[in-house]
Chains A and B, each alone.
Chain A
Amino acid sequence: MVPQTSGQQRTVGWLFGVTGLALFTLMALLGVAMRLEQGDLISISPEWFYRLMTLHAAGMLAGALASMMGGLWLVVRSVVPSLNFGRAIASFAAIVTGVVLVLVAVLIGGFAAGWTFLYPLPFHSSGMWSTWSTVTFLVGMALVGVGFVIYCIDVLKATTETYGGLGGALGVTWLRGRAPIPPPPQVIAATAVSLQGIIAGAVGTTIIVALLDHAIDGQVTIDALWAKNLTYFFGHTIANLIIYLAAGMVYVLLPLYAGRQWKTSKPLVIGWLGTITFVLTAYSHHLYMDFVQPGAAQLVSLVASSAAAIPVAVVTIYTGMMLVWGSRYRWTLTSVLLYLGFAGWAIGGMGAVIDSLIPVNFRLHNTLWVPAHFHNYLMMGIGLWMLAFVSYMLERASGRTARKRVTLLAPVALIVGGYGFIFSWYVSGALGIPRRWAVHPPGTQDYSIVASIFAIVFLLGFFAVLAEFISMGRQAWRRRGLATTPSAPPQIAGASPEADIASSPSPQPMVKAGFGLITIVAMAVAAMFVFFPPISDASELNVKYHHLVHAFQFFTGAMLGVAAASSPSFFNRFAPRWTNAALAIVIVVPVAMLLYMIPAIYSGLVDNDFLHASYHLFVVFLGLLTGLGAALLGRVAGWTILATAVGMALMFAPGVSGG
């Protein structure tokens, strides 16, 4: 059965899908301009090249993220009706605002420290940009992250409440034989991605706020290795999660053209558990060439980077191929793009796995091999799936598929142009041409010229698809108000979205009365030991220990907040109606807590015992607010957000000092 979509689903689909694709288009044009410049075919000053490079990457990330967030939301909402439309729109608004700020920072402010804003480069501009543009860029990136976190919290809350907790929504309960039916695969994907997204968002917020602290108060110093760890954890994880968001969407769209259902299987559940583990532990391969990085982190990353390929190759892509094999697959523009996206993921993934071996990385690190592999899976994997997503919605809305010549010729141009463009990069990387160079070494311009020609071929295919989209869009506009389910995609035998809805959602408090309540109150009391004079006196001698004490004070408040808000009278009264306020609290308050830890605020208070004590009690109060907010989000989302909020305070301590 073709999934029935509501008006809200279509609104989210169009907003996220079309906006993401528009950003992708603009950023692709910037990318081609940079490639032409590297081939000496046009002239761009280094200042503008590095600005465009920063914008290209940040814009692509935001566009691809938004698009695939919309794609997954659309297919999950059919089976999880409690996904909240308003929060999806709030997420979209945060991302768009973030992108606008990034545009302002780069185009007006001249910010060009790269999308990874690797400390301390944002504060060493060599006269290219000023602090306000750094701050604007950081706030912009933070808002993109906030948009993703709002989405993730809402998805995690909705899926876990619908499918009986985290184990239920990840399929673990079914795997252990404690549930009669498993959740649909898109729900497992959404739950796994949202869990990781909240963790990545917390790490990203911590490093961004630390940089903002430094911008506000120059006395704040940041450890460069700590900053690099947090930056790459955030950057790698977010970029990686986009394709897993997309995979959840493909679980639903591909079967529409294969006429076979993508069912949840035991390997799929185990594969997603593996993916959660490996995606969260792979980032350190970005620090292989930082020899001071602890060896254990390098080893974990080495194993995780290769292991991450196994669930993809053995479960998702393999099952996709089984669904297509012998299915009398219905080739339309959408289904062609869906199919080709698998190839981009597989080939780009292998390029990454090769580079994740330390001896290879030693010789290819920061050469053009790196952009080759991530463009491989971003452009030829996610990029094609972004097109497929919009194409799917247009097929439904217009009641027709793309014309035959576009269906045949545009993918040829996309494949020939795309892979020609990317392979020239792989070869250039093996030749040792550094990445992120405005001017390439003499004698290597031919590689850029060849790449530019292929990039233009890719663009021809891309714009042919966009032109067809406009034509289909016009038709869809004329058909608006008519039935939106076209005859185009085939029926899936035996599939019924309604049957997949386990039960109506039932928010659960984080802690139930009794032993749980006693435990968290005891933890709060135990954490209060940080107020004991010997501990607080000792922590005054070292800023990092002092920040650690703050973290425990925050934890104390958070536990008390959870205990208070988990009481049945409070929870039942406020939980359903105050969800949006709770969401705002758990995002804003931990940020405020980190912004609060700067010498400019606390250095004047230490000589006055009352003010000093008030300062620390305010940290407890911030924790209390966060605990209250988290508790109102229900058990799984609440504990996840609370753990990450306390984790932000703990992470902050070893990396930030000064004053």
Chain B
Amino acid sequence: MLAMGSMELNFGEFQIVVMIVFAVIVIFLGAIFVLVAIQARRNVEFEIVTNTGYRLRRYWITFLVLLLGSSVVFSLFFTPYPGSAHTTATVRVSGGLFYWSMSPQKVPAGSDVHFDVTSVDVNHGFGIYDPDGVLLGSVQAMPGYHNNLDLTLDKPGTYLISCLEYCGFKHDKMVRKFEVSS
């Protein structure tokens, strides 16, 4: 058991894109709320507001349906759920209060790793950070079930496995290393 220790967390490229998209949305929404607040002082016939508003609403709903629909469909191509992909290493992972047991504890760089994740007691979250401190993803470790996660680990170095599902008073101490050799 160790704390996150010397690993310094970093933003991944994916996470930066998510933040930028969200920032754009926040600025867009913020601008609308400011604009409406400014326009609230004016005296405009409600009929004029509704006529224009109802006309614009058609565009608004079309835009939203297209935006949300396309993002939902697009996201389906990038789900982390395991398919029938070839794997070169299987790592059995078991979470317990407050430790991770993993076998094997090292894989060669470039391995297509199949993590077979379960728990011996409560729900844990198997979060994996690469040697640069970027969170690659997570899967739940659940008692009585095996969740399988496939990841290609190209970067050699020390990865960190960290619990991402609250499991008790040493939850933040439930961290261990995992080696990817060059």
Identify which of residues 113-159 in chain B touch chain A, using a CB-to-CB cut-off of 8 Å: 121-123, 125, 127, 129, 133-140, 142-149
A298 CB to nearest chain B CB (Å) = 8
Chain A contact patch, size range: 35 or more
Q: Tell me the minimal C-beta distance from A556 to chain B in angstroms.
A: 33
Q: Complex Cα distance A121/B5, Å? A: 27
* Residue B72 interfacial (CB < 8 Å): yes
Chain B residues with Cβ below 8 Å from A481 are none
Chain A positions within 8 Å of B170 at CB level: 46, 126
Known A118-B123, A363-B135, A365-B164; judge A427-B19 contact (CB<8 A).
yes
- The reply to whether A309 and B68 contact each other, CB–CB distance below 8 Å, is yes
Do A314 and B57 touch (CB < 8 A)? yes
Q: Which of A192-200, A438-446, A577-585 lines the interface with chain B?
A: A438-446
Do A310 and B65 have beta carbons less than 8 Å apart?
A: yes
In the complex, are the beta carbons of B172 and A366 less than 8 A apart?
no
A287 to B142, CA, bound (A): 11
From A64-72, A353-361, A395-403, A539-547, the one touching the partner chain is A353-361
Q: Which residue of B lies closest to A121 (CB)?
A: B122
B1-27 interface with A by 8 A CB criterion: 3-12, 14-16, 18-19, 21-22, 25-26
In the complex the two chains form, is A363's CB within 8 Å of B37's CB?
no
Q: Are B171 and A357 in contact (CB under 8 A)?
A: no
B168/A225 in contact, CB under 8 A: no
Question: Cα distance A33–B166 when bound, in Å?
Answer: 19
For A376, the closest partner residue in chain B by CB is B26
Could you tell me if B5 and A354 are in contact, using CB atoms closer than 8 angstroms? no
Contact with B along A308-328 (1 / 0, CB 8 A): 011001100010011011111
Q: Are B12 and A128 in contact (CB under 8 A)?
A: no
Interface pair B136/A363, CB less than 8 Å apart? yes
Cβ of A615 under 8 Å from chain B:
no
- Chain B 70-111: CB-based contact to A (< 8 A → 1; otherwise 0): 011001101111100000000000000110000000000000
The closest CB in chain A to the CB of B147 belongs to A291
Complex CA gap A318/B59 in Å reads 13
- Closest beta carbon of chain A to B68's beta carbon, Å: 4
Nearest-CB distance from B164 to chain A (Å)?
4
Closest partner residue, chain A, to B58 (CB atom): A314
Q: Decide: A326 and B18 in contact? CB cutoff 8 A.
A: no
* Cα distance A321–B31 in the bound complex, in angstroms: 13
Q: Mark B13-56, 1 if CB is under 8 A from A, else 0.
A: 01110110110011001101100110111111110111001000
Residues of A within 8 A of B133 (CB): 432
Are the C-beta atoms of B172 and A438 separated by less than 8 Å? Answer: yes
Point out the residues of chain A lying under 8 angstroms from B7, CB to CB: 441
Q: Which residue of A307, A346, A366 is within 8 Å of B165 (Cβ)?
A: A366
Q: Which of B25, B72, B169 contacts A357 (CB 8 A)?
A: B72
Q: Which residues of A in the span 264-311 have a Cβ within 8 Å of any Cβ on B?
A: 267, 287, 289-292, 295, 302-303, 306-307, 309-310
**Contact, CB under 8 Å: A359 / B72:** no
Which of B26, B44, B148: most chain A Cβ within 10 A?
B26
Q: Is the CB of B122 within 8 A of A124?
A: yes
Bin the interface of chain B by size. 35 or more
Q: Name the one of B145, B164, B167 contacting A224, with C-beta atoms under 8 angstroms.
A: B145
Interface flag for A433 (CB, 8 Å): yes
Which chain A positions have C-beta within 8 A of B61?
A: 310, 314
Contact B125 A350 (CB under 8 A): no
| B16 A430 Cβ-Cβ under 8 A | yes
How many contacts A-B (CB < 8 Å)? 247
Q: Specify which chain B residues have a CB less than 8 angstroms from the CB of A359 in the assembled complex.
A: 14, 75, 78-80
A414 to chain B, nearest CB (A): 14
A441-B9 Cα distance, complex, nearest whole Å: 8
Q: Are B165's CB and A325's CB within 8 A? A: no
* Given A126-B169, A351-B22, A437-B171, A318-B164 contact (CB < 8 Å): no
Q: Are B134 and A112 touching (Cβ within 8 A)?
A: no
- Out of A291, A327, A441, name the residue touching B139 (CB < 8 Å): A291
CA distance A287 to B81 in the complex (A): 12
- Inter-chain CA distance A121–B33, complex, in Å, is 43
B4 touches A441 (CB 8 A): yes
Interchain CB contact under 8 A, A432 and B172: no
At the interface, yes or no: A431 with Cβ under 8 Å from chain B?
Answer: yes
Contact (A306, B68) CB under 8 Å given A325-B40, A325-B49: yes
Q: Are the C-beta atoms of A434 and B97 separated by less than 8 Å?
A: no
Cα of A325 to Cα of B127 in the assembled complex, Å: 47
Is the Cβ of B172 less than 8 Å from the Cβ of A360? no
The reply to whether B72 and A124 contact each other, CB–CB distance below 8 Å, is no
Residues of A within 8 A of B30 (CB): 343, 347
Please give the distance in Å from A82's CB to the nearest CB on chain B: 32
A267: shortest Cβ distance to chain B, in Å? 8
CB distance from A129 to the nearest CB of B (A): 10
Give A357 to B73 CA distance when docked, in angstroms: 10
In the assembled complex, which residues on chain A have CB atoms less than 8 Å from the CB atom of B15? 363-364, 430-432
Q: A328-B43, A363-B137, A430-B18 are in contact. Are A124 and B121 (CB under 8 A)?
A: yes
The residue on B at minimum CB distance from A327 is B40
Nearest Cβ on chain B to A358's Cβ, whole angstroms: 5
Interface mask (A116-153 → B, CB under 8 Å = 1, otherwise 0): 00101100111010000000000000000000000000
- A444 to B5: give the CA distance in the assembly, Å: 12
What residue in chain B is nearest A54 (Cβ atoms)?
A: B166
Taking a contact as CB atoms under 8 Å apart, the answer to whether B166 and A436 are in contact is yes
Are the C-beta atoms of B137 and A50 separated by less than 8 Å? no
Q: Which B residues touch A339, using CB under 8 A?
A: 33, 37
In the assembled complex, which residues on chain A have CB atoms less than 8 Å from the CB atom of B48?
Answer: 326
Say whether, besides A328-B42, A444-B9, A357 and B71 are in contact (CB < 8 Å).
Answer: yes
Give the residue among A303, A342, A430 with the most B Cβ atoms within 10 A: A430
**By the criterion CB–CB under 8 Å, are B168 and A365 in contact?**
no
Asked whether, in the complex, the Cβ of B53 is within 8 Å of the Cβ of A326, the reply is no
Whether A128 lies near B168 (C-beta < 8 A) is yes
Apart from the given pairs A128-B169, A291-B82, A358-B75, 15 other A-B contacts in the complex at a CB distance below 8 Å? A46-B172, A120-B121, A120-B123, A224-B145, A306-B68, A314-B60, A325-B44, A343-B29, A358-B80, A359-B79, A363-B14, A430-B18, A431-B15, A434-B172, A442-B3
Question: What 8 pairs across the A-B complex have the smallest Cβ distances?
Answer: A326-B44, A432-B135, A329-B40, A437-B172, A359-B78, A441-B4, A366-B164, A430-B15
Of the A-B pairs whose beta carbons lie under 8 Å apart in the complex, a sample of 21, sorted by A's number, is: A126-B169, A228-B142, A290-B142, A290-B145, A291-B80, A291-B139, A291-B149, A292-B142, A292-B147, A306-B72, A309-B64, A310-B61, A339-B37, A343-B30, A363-B138, A364-B18, A432-B129, A432-B135, A434-B163, A438-B169, A441-B4
Which A residues form the contact surface with B (CB < 8 A)? Answer: 46-47, 50, 112-114, 118, 120-121, 124-126, 128, 223-225, 228, 260, 267, 287, 289-292, 295, 302-303, 306-307, 309-310, 313-314, 318, 321-322, 324-329, 331, 339, 342-343, 346-347, 350-351, 353-354, 357-360, 362-367, 426-427, 430-444
B→A interface (CB under 8 Å): 3-12, 14-16, 18-19, 21-22, 25-26, 29-30, 32-33, 36-37, 39-46, 48-50, 53, 57, 60-61, 64-65, 68-69, 71-72, 75-76, 78-82, 97-98, 121-123, 125, 127, 129, 133-140, 142-149, 162-172
